[in-house]
């Protein structure tokens, strides 16, 4: 709004909550300021220097109002409710904020006068201590005290792994620990590489993990496509319900439909997550089958989508099977990065040697590193070694 010349003035009144002193308010501001980057701080300081931004603290009584007034000329828009403009208030908590559209102009004017009264009764003592300097000092400080919980949360966010603190509202207590681990590893690889191959052994709940991942993306407002074999359609839909999603929360595409020569792949443009079950059926690219070509076209028109391939047998009849699957999610910006990181060169080297039947120990090691980079695999022998307690749970979990 400010860059468009639409912001004349921004006033904020905040309550002290349990903080009764200016010192405690400033301490809270310091802790909040640690996450500000240079651009954000510069913008706040610019508003402050231009006297567009001003705030006060209401100290008379407990202050628990959430009231937003937008004044444009003679028009006043008023929103009220429980929501605040924090990350938790906007994304995680269950909050309510509604416009007061039915109010007359006179009623809205009363709200404005109420705000003015609160503003006039609030203290600018904090302002006199140059809050902007306090915020600047904290944002540039190399050492700021944080509560251990806040430190961990900030560290996780800095590492780009917000999914580790994401709350999933469905009850997933029936899942085994190795499935939760598979979920986190898959999300990490999807975020980092744009694709992942979930290759847990038969019977270890790959569908449950896939549905958990679908739930995570749905909570982010993403569009999800599930490509499935017709024989397991019912199983997918039942599992999706377990994690708190409805059938209509995702789009469904039968593998049988993909086998048709005439296929309208363009209607899937705008998909953010593509989940492909029994992905080993798509491993052959030469000669290219209809289903492989149609899937490739869906992925190509969604260059920034994430692709989750699910199969217990990523390597079936050839060492090249895995590479053919990885090729499905080498697209868009990810392709440029894979080229820069030398991944595409290694893949071509492995392909060339396997085709020429020059399979050395070095080539096997390079293929294994590629498998570790792009896949998640937990096998039955791993359970008694690392997940002994999970053996009691998985009897009721289908694959």
pLDDT per position as a tens digit, 154-180: 666 666 666 665 555 556 677 888 998
Which residue range forms the structural domain that includes residue 134?
Answer: 10-145
Together in a domain, 141 and 177: no
- How many other CB atoms are found less than 10 A from the CB of residue 295? 24
Q: Is residue 4 part of a domain?
A: no
Q: Is residue 225 part of a domain?
A: yes
- How many other CB atoms are found less than 10 A from the CB of residue 267? 10
Together in a domain, 133 and 189: no
Residues above pLDDT 70, as percent of the chain: 70
Together in a domain, 137 and 181: no
Residues 198 and 182: beta-carbon distance below 8 Å: yes
Together in a domain, 14 and 74: yes
Together in a domain, 125 and 194: no
CA–CA gap between residue 12 and residue 197 (Å, rounded): 49
Which residue, 127, 145, 163, sits at the end of a domain? 145
Phi and psi based region of residue 113 (left: phi greater than 0; alpha: psi -120 to 50; beta: remaining): alpha
pLDDT top residue among 91 and 196: 196
Residue 91: half-sphere exposure toward Cβ, Cα within 13 Å? 13
pLDDT at residue 369, rounded to an integer:
94
CA–CA gap between residue 149 and residue 157 (Å, rounded): 13
Nearest one of 335, 349, 329, 318 to 275, comparing CA atoms: 329
Which residue, 109, 130, 145, sits at the end of a domain? 145
Whether residue 295 is predicted with pLDDT greater than 80 in this model: the reply is: yes
Residues 284 and 292: beta-carbon distance below 8 Å: yes
CA–CA gap between residue 200 and residue 176 (Å, rounded): 13
Confidence grade of residue 105 (pLDDT, cut at 50, 70, 90)? confident
Together in a domain, 140 and 223: no
pLDDT at residue 96, rounded to an integer:
72
Together in a domain, 218 and 365: yes
CA–CA gap between residue 260 and residue 80 (Å, rounded): 53
Together in a domain, 291 and 248: yes
Together in a domain, 140 and 180: no
CA–CA gap between residue 1 and residue 361 (Å, rounded): 60
Q: What is the pTM of this model?
A: 0.62
Average pLDDT value for residue range 5-27: 60
Together in a domain, 73 and 196: no
Together in a domain, 315 and 193: yes
Q: Is residue 215 part of a domain?
A: yes
For residue 148, CA distances in Å to 25, 32, 133, 162, 173 come to: 20, 14, 25, 17, 26
Q: Is residue 156 part of a domain?
A: no
**Range in 74-78, 173-177, 196-200, 254-258 the model is least confident about:** 74-78
CA–CA gap between residue 262 and residue 358 (Å, rounded): 40
| pLDDT, averaged across the chain | 80
pLDDT at residue 129, rounded to an integer:
44
Q: Is residue 155 part of a domain?
A: no
Q: Is residue 290 part of a domain?
A: yes
Q: Is residue 261 part of a domain?
A: yes
Q: How many domains does the chain have?
A: 2
- Residue in this structure with the two tokens 């492995």, named with its chain if needed: 350
Whether residue 337 is predicted with pLDDT greater than 70 in this model: the reply is: yes
Average pLDDT value for residue range 182-207: 94
Whether residue 368 is predicted with pLDDT greater than 70 in this model: the reply is: yes
Whether residue 220 is predicted with pLDDT greater than 80 in this model: the reply is: yes
Together in a domain, 138 and 73: yes
Name the token pair of 303. 């260059």
């Amino acid at each position: 709004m400010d860059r468009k010349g639409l912001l004349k003035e921004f006033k904020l009144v905040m309550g002290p909550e349990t903080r009764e002193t200016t010192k405690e308010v400033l301490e809270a501001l310091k802790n909040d300021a640690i996450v500000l980057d240079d651009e954000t701080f510069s913008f706040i300081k610019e508003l402050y220097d231009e006297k567009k931004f001003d705030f006060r603290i209401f100290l008379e009584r407990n202050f628990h109002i959430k009231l937003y007034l937008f004044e444009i000329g003679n028009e006043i828009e008023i929103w009220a409710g429980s929501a605040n403009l924090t990350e938790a208030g906007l994304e995680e908590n269950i909050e309510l904020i509604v416009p007061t559209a039915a109010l007359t102009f006179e009623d809205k004017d009363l709200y404005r006068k109420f705000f003015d009264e609160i503003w006039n009764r609030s203290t600018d003592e904090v302002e006199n201590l140059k809050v902007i300097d306090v915020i600047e000092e904290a944002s540039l400080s190399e050492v700021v005290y944080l509560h251990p919980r806040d430190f961990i949360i900030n560290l996780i966010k800095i590492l780009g792994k917000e999914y580790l603190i994401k709350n999933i509202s469905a009850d997933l207590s029936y899942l085994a620990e190795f499935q939760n681990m598979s979920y986190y590893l898959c999300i990490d690889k999807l975020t980092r590489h744009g694709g992942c191959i979930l290759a847990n052994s038969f019977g270890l709940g790959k569908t449950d993990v896939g549905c958990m991942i679908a739930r995570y993306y749905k909570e982010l407002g993403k569009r999800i496509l599930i490509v499935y074999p017709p024989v397991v359609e019912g199983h997918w839909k039942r599992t999706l319900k377990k994690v708190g999603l409805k059938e209509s929360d995702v789009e469904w595409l039968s593998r049988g439909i993909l086998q048709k020569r005439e296929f309208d792949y363009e209607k899937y443009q705008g998909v953010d997550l593509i989940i492909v079950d029994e992905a080993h059926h798509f491993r052959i690219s030469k000669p290219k089958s209809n289903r492989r070509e149609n899937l490739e076209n869906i992925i190509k028109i969604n260059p920034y989508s994430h692709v989750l391939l699910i199969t217990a047998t990523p390597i079936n009849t050839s060492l090249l099977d895995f590479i053919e699957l990885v090729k499905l999610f080498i697209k868009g910006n990810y392709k440029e990065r894979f080229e820069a990181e030398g991944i595409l060169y290694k893949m071509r080297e492995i392909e060339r040697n396997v085709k020429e039947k020059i399979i050395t120990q070095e080539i096997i090691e390079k293929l294994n590193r590629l498998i570790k980079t792009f896949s998640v695999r937990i096998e039955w022998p791993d359970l008694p070694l690392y997940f002994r307690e999970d053996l009691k749970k998985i009897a009721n979990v289908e694959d």
